[in-house]
Structure 1
Amino acid sequence: MSRNESNSRSLLWLAALAYTAFVIYGSLVPLEFRALSWDEAVARFGAMPFLKLGIGSRADWVANLLLFIPLTFLWMGALAAGAGRARTVLMTLMLIPAATAWSLGIEFTQLFFPQRTVSQNDIFAETLGGLVGVLVWWGTGRRFVEWLQSWQHIHARAALAERLAWVYLAGVLVYNVLPLDLTISLVEVFHKWRDGKVNLIPFGRLPDDAAYALYEIATDALIWTPLALMWRLDGTRNAWRVWGMTLATAAVLEVMQLFVYSRVSDVTDLFTAAAGAALGGWVGSRLATREASAGQAPPWAMWLPFTLTAGWVAALLFVFWFPFDFRTDGAFLRERLHNFLTRMPFEAYYFGTEFRAATEVLHKVLFFIPLGALLAWFVSRLRWTWRGFGTFLSLVLIAVTSVGIVVGRLAQPDKNPDIMDIVLQWLGGLLGFVMIRIILSRKVRAAQPRKHMVSRHRTMNRIKDHA
């Protein structure tokens, strides 16, 4: 087995184990255990109902189906990647019944956690999802492994940016079809129109509060900024083409949302996408021309990223602390801190729809990506001897900002912070920092051979002159 194959196999094992832990935790959160006798649990499991799927429960059924597709797909990769057909067939014959057994075990365990709903529908959906995951591996597994291995050979900034753009677009697509209550019924689409879930008036459905309205506009715009940024960094598209591609993508997804029953199709999203695309294209253009103008920047320009970082931290405090209704009495703060520390991770995300949970996660991550990106920009302007120290301080600053925001939200009665908010915000900042550092470092490395050749050419000329 080659080194690339070994690395891909290890990555698939890690992904399979991590996703399995996610499935277990997500199926049992908020982990409020209630003891049952074995006989009672078996009796309840035997009387498990088959629920009628209406428009409201359709999303849960589809979510359970989709939950198990990556599970068996990743385990097929961990157990059968690079193996022959006989081993792949054997793993298939093992994983399909294992997925059914896994589903039965999860549903049975959920009986001891009363806030979870147990039904035959879930078992059927999860088993079907497990089967689909195995079939998807048979159809695309080899190409998927080759795709993983090819990431190790990407050295050009343009190729990396292009790949990251399409991976990010896949995530945006998934987000835009949540909570998966899909419909192709024209009657249901008409009901959606009648219920006011289709808005053709720009900015006609914004909250009355100006700050909340600004928050919604900013988050909707920021969703599209990374996509435009990475498409611009590809180097083959100018800013106007990137802006048009991003806006066209947003329009297509907005049309798709017509067939997601609980989502609001709003023409305002096109305006926010246009703004986000313009911002991403502008930042991408600045990064693309950074090398050409590096020697022409005035001394004060070195501190520009740091100044923008301070401004963005102030913006984060405003967004997450508004309307600043802090309470400082000791009893309230002690109770809030106790509940915060004793609550299970992601418990605050459990109450509500899958779309709300995904939105909260996305907002926490997206707002901190610019913070990490600005710090990476600042670090890239430091001398080589200071960059390691600058990186350490940047990651500490991201963590301190995240903790400070959550502490402030604990002092506000209407906020409901989760301990995972700190992790998600820090990961968002880390993602922005790493992405910009990789892009800038690869760009510099790509330019080094040319500089070396110029230096060598000048040296040869001096030797000839002295001769």
Structure 2
Amino acid sequence: MSPGPGHPSYPVPRPRPLPVRRRGPHPLTVLAALCGLFIVYGTTIPFEPVAEPIPLAEGWRRAVDAAPRRSSRTDRAANVLLFMPLGAMIAARLGRAGAGPIGSVLAASAVGAALSAGVETLQINLQMRVTSVSDLMNNTIGSAIGGGLGWLAGRWAWPWFWPALKRGAATHPLASLAIVATVGWGVIELAPFVPSADVGDLKSAVKSARPIPFGPSVDGRRPAPDPWAWAVEALSWSLLGGLVALAVRERGGRGVELVAETIVLTAGFRAAVELVQLGFPGHVTDATSVVLTSAGATASALAVAIRPRLPARSWIGPGLAVWAAAVLIDGASPFDAFGRPRSLDPRMAFPFYSYFWSPPTSALATAAEKVASMVPLGFLLAARSRRWTPAASALSGWAAGASIEAIQLFNASRTPDMTDAFLAALGAWLGGRALRSWESAGASPSSPTT
């Protein structure tokens, strides 16, 4: 007879070891790596080597000899801005790990300087690229500035912001969404984020301002009417205004109060952004934008006020329709230029090839706008179903962007560019990721749609 359980000689089974949970790299580390890859790609495109290679020492000697030449303010700003995200991600990651501000900024600066030196060395033997000591210095400065901001965000701003977001997501989910969305839109409007304190720039901005809706500028210039751009602006603010209206309804606003408060909030915010643009060269302060914002927000507020008991989930479909109309008009207009299809320029299939030929700050502003335009798509698709992943949003964004570029093949006034499809995928992914992060902050999965 074999011994049973409890007998001293009964074999005791060993506990099965728990599976080791492997953790991937920190998201900030991944973002820093992506920033580095983008910098290498963007600063070496179009990848055309010179016919006769130049010794690296000779290339750097020429760069040092040319160092006293002063680069333009636009180039300096572009080089600083290009490396700021890299420095911010590195310092934020180190700050979250417990590193101090000096060490984090020095590490971010060192990585930025090393990467910049490597890129400048590659550029010695690339056509249409110039190795520059000034670029190396400005890139290092950008990494240092980004490092300082990143450390502050990681150690001070984020520990305050995340609990505040969790409280807002739990108590007033739609209000927290409306605040983040409108502030984010306002930041994108200021792209490429190069302010100026020069009195001459301010005087020029005031002369270019248009204080009367649909009227001339202060110096008498009257721009050509652009009804398609006006339609896009009104539709965009119809989408944001609808979110603000739902937030006002969440607070208890009804009827006339809901409509009036929505108009005041949206128009006031837009007017503030227009005034701030006076300090950003290249932007035009225009009262027409305030009127179009008010019109779009009024339409959405009236729709929400008329049906006060309609769940927010029911507005996802109309929101997608408004977004689609705005993106289609923006990407396909003017519609009177349609004709026989053209073939796609093979160079436009390479990401960011066209951006190489644009002024750096203009390219940055365009890219920011393209990404931001697709954020609502990813967000709304993710809000429809808990099973919808950010990756699915990215795929949908790419499909939408590629479809717009395909339509542009029939428009003689537009140039199809597959870069925009990749930017659309990024924007849609950010929208889907933002919703999931917002839910993890404490909001009910159904809160954006209740």
For 1:265 and 1:37, locate their aligned partners in 2 and report how far apart those are by CA, in whole Å.
48
Q: Once structures 1 and 2 are overlaid, which stretch shifts more, 122-131 or 313-322?
A: 313-322
The reply on whether 1:350 has 2:356 as its aligned counterpart is: yes
Change (3 A) 1:231 1:306: closer
For 1:200 and 1:389, locate their aligned partners in 2 and report how far apart those are by CA, in whole Å.
45
- Structural mapping, 1:13-412, within 5 Å: 13-34=29-50, 36-38=53-55, 39-52=57-70, 57-83=72-98, 90-116=103-129, 118-146=131-159, 150=163, 156=169, 159-180=172-193, 182-194=195-207, 197-204=208-215, 208=224, 213-222=226-235, 224=237, 227-234=240-247, 235-236=250-251, 238=253, 239=258, 240-278=260-298, 281=301, 289-291=309-311, 316-317=327-328, 319-322=330-333, 323=335, 325-326=337-338, 328=340, 333=343, 336=344, 338-341=346-349, 344-354=350-360, 356-361=362-367, 363-365=369-371, 368=374, 400-412=399-411
Deviations 1:227-286 (A, max 9, x none): 545544543484433432332222222122222232222221221232344356567768
Contact 1:12 1:77 in 2 (8 A): yes
Q: AA paired with 2:77? A: V
Note the C-alpha offset of 1:10: 1.4
RMSD: 4.6
Change (3 A) 1:271 1:354: farther
Contact 1:76 1:92 in 2 (8 A): yes
Change (3 A) 1:92 1:71: same
Aligned partner of residue 62 in structure 2, secondary structure: helix
Q: AA paired with 2:353? A: E
Contact 1:72 1:99 in 2 (8 A): yes
Deviations 1:326-350 (A, max 9, x none): 5547xx52xx253433xx2022233
Question: What is the TM-score normalised by the length of structure 1?
Answer: 0.69
For 1:161 and 1:363, locate their aligned partners in 2 and report how far apart those are by CA, in whole Å.
24
For 1:220 and 1:79, locate their aligned partners in 2 and report how far apart those are by CA, in whole Å.
41
Q: AA paired with 2:28? A: L
Q: AA paired with 2:43? A: S
Contact 2:267 2:294 in 1 (8 A): yes
Deviations 1:180-222 (A, max 9, x none): 553333344334455xx2222312368646xxx2221133345
Q: AA paired with 2:415? A: N
For 1:402 and 1:427, locate their aligned partners in 2 and report how far apart those are by CA, in whole Å.
11
Aligned partner of residue 26 in structure 2, secondary structure: helix
Aligned length, in residue pairs: 410
Q: AA paired with 1:345? A: P
Note the C-alpha offset of 1:427: 4.8
In terms of fraction of residues, the more helix-rich structure is 1
For 2:390 and 2:418, locate their aligned partners in 1 and report how far apart those are by CA, in whole Å.
25
Change (3 A) 1:421 1:135: closer
Aligned partner of residue 265 in structure 1, secondary structure: coil
For 1:215 and 1:8, locate their aligned partners in 2 and report how far apart those are by CA, in whole Å.
46
Deviations 1:408-433 (A, max 9, x none): 21344432222122233345556667
Change (3 A) 1:310 1:23: same
For 1:249 and 1:345, locate their aligned partners in 2 and report how far apart those are by CA, in whole Å.
35
Q: Once structures 1 and 2 are overlaid, which stretch shifts more, 392-401 or 233-242?
A: 392-401
Unaligned runs of 5+ in 2: 1-21, 217-221
For 1:254 and 1:425, locate their aligned partners in 2 and report how far apart those are by CA, in whole Å.
26
Change (3 A) 1:89 1:426: closer
Deviations 1:280-302 (A, max 9, x none): 6567768984349x9xxxxxxx8
What's the % identity of the aligned pairs?
24
For 1:254 and 1:426, locate their aligned partners in 2 and report how far apart those are by CA, in whole Å.
29
Note the C-alpha offset of 1:61: 1.9
Deviations 1:102-143 (A, max 9, x none): 333333333344434554433332222222333335544322
Aligned partner of residue 49 in structure 1, secondary structure: coil
For 1:80 and 1:391, locate their aligned partners in 2 and report how far apart those are by CA, in whole Å.
27
Q: AA paired with 1:349? A: Y
Change (3 A) 1:268 1:33: farther
For 1:178 and 1:391, locate their aligned partners in 2 and report how far apart those are by CA, in whole Å.
25
